[in-house]
Amino acid sequence: MKRKAVILLMAVLALLFVAPVGAQEDSDSGGGDVDWGILAAAFAIAIAAAGGAAGQAKTAAAAVSAIARNPGASGDIRLAMILGLALIESLVIYALLIAMRGAAFF
């Protein structure tokens, strides 16, 4: 319940931050010098990083508690954790590549 309240609060704050962008656009001449590429790239990588971080947090937490329960298997658990972290991170990297394309990095 508290987490839902926090998420709702953050969504409201995010909307508040987006409002000045509208003001910016009105003051430009001729319909906008807004660089939509970089704006889209920022949102893309922010959402991807959030999702990736949540997944990796779960992985690391599960690995740590498994090692705590069974220290003898810590080698195998560490291996599985590293593999899982790298696979989740690769999804974030795919989003990063598209974001770099949108921000005209390459």
Residues that bind another protein (CB under 8 A): 79, 82-83, 86-87, 89-90, 93-94, 96-97, 100, 105-106
**CB 96 → another protein: shortest distance, Å?**
6
**CB 34 → another protein: shortest distance, Å?**
22
Nearer to another protein, 62 or 89 (CB): 89
Phi, psi (deg, nearest 5) at residue 105: -75, -35
Nearer to another protein, 54 or 91 (CB): 91
Nearer to another protein, 11 or 60 (CB): 60
Terminal-residue alpha carbon distance, the chain? 43
